[in-house]
């Protein structure tokens, strides 16, 4: 096996991307750490350097997805707020896009 050197963040993204594909194809329960390390092309120790377990990897994947979902919702709220304001809606009738934006930035 050819050793491919990657930066820390690149390696994490690579593991996550390939694990997501395996989970989608085989299901979480039917995907082993051995499947993931084979797909990524890393040693078992390398996997455990980045993630304590397959569960922690899943938690990371879910956390990243949740952040994306929150950003999408915030973007939609801001757009709705702008549309309502441009249509003459009063402040009390508008969605607080800025408040939602500030909340999402804290995540």
State pLDDT tens for residues 2-51: 666 779 899 999 999 999 999 999 999 999 999 999 999 999 999 999 99
Euclidean distance between CA atoms 72 and 42, whole angstroms: 33
Which residues does 60 contact at the CB level (< 8 Å), separation at least 6? 12, 16, 51
Spatial distance between the Cα atoms of 41 and 75, rounded to a whole number of angstroms: 37
CA distance 89 to 102: 22
What is the average pLDDT across 64-90? 83
In this predicted model, which residue has the larger pLDDT, 97 or 10? 10
pLDDT greater at residue 97 or residue 70: 70
pLDDT of residue 2: 60
Instruction: With beta carbons less than 8 A apart as the criterion, state whether 100 and 78 touch.
Output: yes
């Amino acid at each position: 096996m050819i050793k491919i050197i990657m930066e820390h963040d690149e390696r994490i993204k690579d593991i996550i991307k390939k694990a997501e594909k395996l989970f989608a194809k085989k299901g979480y329960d039917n995907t082993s750490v051995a499947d993931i390390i084979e797909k990524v092309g890393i040693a078992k120790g390398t996997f455990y350097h980045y993630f304590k377990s397959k569960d922690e990897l899943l938690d990371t994947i879910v956390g990243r997805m949740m952040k994306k979902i929150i950003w999408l919702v915030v973007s939609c709220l801001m757009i709705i707020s702008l549309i309502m304001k441009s249509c003459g809606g009063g402040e009390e009738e508008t969605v607080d896009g800025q408040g939602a934006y500030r909340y999402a930035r804290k995540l």
